[in-house]
Chain A
Amino acid sequence: MENIDLIVNQLPAPTWNRLRMNESRVAVAVPTDECEPKVALQGSVCLNKQQIPRIPGKNCCGCAQMATCPVNGIDFASMPTGMGTEMAQLGEGKRIHLVADAGKSTAAVTLRYDDEQKCYNRLEIEAKPGSELTVFMTYISTASAKGMAAVQTKIAAAKDAKVKLVQVQLLGREFLHLNDVGADLAADARFEVLQLQLGGAQIYNGVRTELTGDGSSFDAAIAYYGRNAQRIDMNFIANHYGKKTDCNMTADGVLQQGAFKIYRGTIDFKNGSAGATGDEKETVLLLSDDVVNQSIPLILCSEEDVQGNHGASIGKLDEDLLFYMMSRGFSESDAIDMMAKAKIEGICRRIEDEETVQLVERYLEGVVKE
């Protein structure tokens, strides 16, 4: 089967080529299978699986008129994403479209992959003014399965809309996972993304948010547990256009057993984003000597009246902490397992769905005991 060579996760401002951080190249299979997502909805959100013709300038109707709604004014196709424009080479993919009306609602989207499946799915989320939507996305397969799980998620959040996207990746040990997210936020809209990257062999993950409207905010938190020579390749971008916009990005992870990780995180204060604030934090716990950790946190700024901060801490487990735990009767390996799990649990605490949390816990129990 022929592969497609993609350049993904490009840094918005490149640096020395010899560091090999400017972008990543990945050879992916042509998607051949249809992975039918299981979707469960609650509250004022509805699903349109049809290909909706895009007629610029026309607004999409809400859930009540969905059956007869022929038009959509949001240009999801040209909405930029974290992994970049070359994802378009994967084709149309299996597409679903969620529309959330004002009020609270939740959507659970489960993508369960069989062995050898190579799928590309697209999810478009349209959050209407005043909507509060939480979307749980779970990618799952058997532990030994291999294949490709490519998923692109695009979010258009209207004024005052709040979208919380929870993505939990529990794929088999030989899976290639492409997780590509793009969001555009109108005034006072909020987008929160929580990600747990736990399975798979090669994980390429990009999240890009355009803080277009004044007062919009973006909060991203990712935790990962890299092991078994995994490659975890990330690109987070927050583009501040609106005034008094705010972003917060945290990445927290553990690396061992030959894992490779690169975290690219960019806060870009565009001219005109007066009063904007941005924070980025990264902590990486290195548990074996054969790992590679690359981090490149960018702050780009063409506006005076902004505040941007970045902090990174990379290293082994604090020896005093380890000593303390061992003095309380834990073995060294138990103490290390506990600290590694704590990184994941930090995200789990923010997931307001017991079923998803339990799934993660069960998965993690298996991993830690491997």
Chain B
Amino acid sequence: MEEKTFVEDIDRSLYDFRNEDKDAYRIEEGLTRDIVEQISREKHDPEWMREFRLKSLEIYNKTPMVQWGPSIEGLNMDNIVTYVRPNTKMQGKWEDVPDDIKDTFERLGIPQAEQTSLAGVGAQYDSELVYHNVRKEVEEQGVVYTDMESALNGPYAEMVKEHFMKLVPPTDHKFAALHGAVWSGGSFVYVPKGVKVAIPLQSYFRLNAKGAGQFEHTLIIVDEGADLHFIEGCSAPKYNVANLHAGCVELFIAKNAKLRYSTIENWSKNMYNLNTKRALVAEGGTIEWVSGSFGSHVSYLYPMSVLNGEGAHSEFTGVTFAGHGQNLDTGCKVVHNAPHTTSLVNTRSISKSGGISTFRSSVVVTNKAKHAKSSVSCQSLMLDNISRSDTIPAIDVRTADADIGHEAKIGRISDDAVFYLMSRGISEEEARAMIVSGFADNVSKELPLEYAVEMNNLIRLEMQGSIG
């Protein structure tokens, strides 16, 4: 038997810092009708939204907990604060953002990234956006990038009403209902017909408050022939109590439009990440998901693509890295519901130090999807024998005119590869980190350079101190 050396993970000080939230407005803990109505009042909801929240609460109370995934017994909604408003309004300039919050985003590199490589930035701190800005030239193209509250009460109110939680209805699952009841924050993006946004927009979600939940709603509508890359980042400091993230992302991709939605998820390891993401793709449209899941204590995350128009296409590229104390259940869902639709899924999972990673997917091909093609490839890497890695892919095909392929592999780092790298003067630790980074390059090569570097740093961070 091979000798193993094991060293604990190093701290995640880059993300694991926290501010006092003494000036913030916190709603009381738990989930009641009064709390939902209070959130609605705080946010100056239109009447339809108040009713929507209350209806969602009813659905939440009636819907049973999921029975199939990682345990969420440690999450007690009675202890979760569903709304925490920082002591600032949303600002258009970083210098107007309070120092402690600005400092948080500076340490995360958001203002710097905005200057160098982004067309617009939204920064959410706990339940509300604290900063939102979009470059003038992008605004002049007619691109709308604003916070959800402004959209709900502004000139795009009807558009929001028409699309809000239509793709992910509160009846979808218990935490979609919870989101419908207590959602707050998030971004609204509208890209007009034919507009191609050359550089990405980014929203960054930071949950600072202890024992709180973040329920941001992201609604993106990419109109006919338009093109957008949207980046989402998230992180939180670690507390010894459960935090909850139950966001919702709804993406509408019109005829011949294209959206790339990239996420680097790095929540702290006390976070229950029960997020729902879904895209509806019309004729000739494309959705590309790029997803890196590194943080959270428990994660349920399966971006879904509904290919509803002829020739619609989806790609999902994902990497999940589960370390000590983490149970990350990630993957994707694709529904082919129109002729000549195509989908491509390519994922990597890494398990280490007792972490559990599960790749879970479903590819459904309806009878309407003649000549549909789908290819799913998932690979898992086990870095020790105290961890766990499961692969649960489901395929449901209901037409003869389809071509569906699936492949899965599970294995360990090849000793030969480590030996080869060590014979070239690289330490064993470095060699293993290099191999794991290479294993995850399906995602890193799809990200803008600076995010790929961040992702590789995260992998390196996770791999440091671990031999075997």
Contact = CB atoms under 8 A, between A and B. Distances in A.
Contacts of A14: 67-68
A299 B385 contact: no
Interface residues of A, number: 42
Contacts of B384: 304
Contacts of B399: 286, 289
Interface string A306-329: 111111111110000000000000
Interface stretch (A16-24, A32-40, A135-143): A16-24
A311 B401 contact: no
17 contacts: A22-B68, A284-B397, A288-B400, A293-B395, A294-B394, A295-B406, A297-B408, A299-B410, A301-B380, A304-B382, A304-B385, A304-B387, A305-B385, A307-B410, A308-B410, A309-B407, A310-B391
B66 to A, nearest CB: 8
Contacts, number: 136
Nearest to A308: B410
A17 B390 contact: no
Contacts of A315: 402-404
Nearest to B370: A289
B392 interface: yes
B362 A19 contact: yes
A15 B410 contact: no
B407 A296 contact: no
Nearest to A271: B385
A306 B412 contact: yes
A21 to B, nearest CB: 6
Contact of B67 (A17, A21, A306): A17
A194 to B, nearest CB: 24
B398 interface: yes
Contacts of B387: 302, 304
A16 B382 contact: no
Contacts of A337: none
A13 B382 contact: no
Nearest to A264: B394
Nearest to A305: B412
A306 B396 CA distance: 29
B146 interface: no
A309 B409 contact: yes
B269 interface: no
Given A14-B68, A287-B400, A288-B400, A299 B395 contact: no
A297 B360 CA distance: 11
Contact of B385 (A22, A284, A302): A302
A294 B398 CA distance: 9
A15 B390 contact: no
A291 interface: yes
Nearest to B364: A19
Contact of A274 (B67, B385, B394, B398): B385
A364 interface: no
A234 to B, nearest CB: 14
Contacts of B395: 293-296, 312, 314
A297 B380 contact: no
B184 interface: no
A311 B367 CA distance: 23
B68 A307 contact: no
A288 B399 CA distance: 7
B258 interface: no
A344 B398 CA distance: 23
A304 B388 contact: no
B437 interface: no
A113 B395 CA distance: 35
Given A14-B68, A17-B68, A301-B380, A293 B396 contact: yes
Contacts of A289: 367, 399-401
B136 to A, nearest CB: 45
B394 A299 contact: no
Contact of B400 (A291, A302, A303): A291
A58 to B, nearest CB: 36
Interface in A260-292: 269, 271, 274, 284, 286-289, 291-292
B392 A314 contact: no
B393 interface: yes
A114 to B, nearest CB: 36
B394 A304 contact: no
A2 to B, nearest CB: 29
Nearest to A19: B394
A313 to B, nearest CB: 5
Contacts of A269: 410
Nearest to B396: A294
A286 B408 contact: no
A355 to B, nearest CB: 35
A300 interface: yes
B411 interface: yes
Interface in A167-218: none
Nearest to B398: A292
Interface string A15-53: 111010110000000000000000000000000000000
B401 A316 contact: yes
Contacts of A17: 67-68
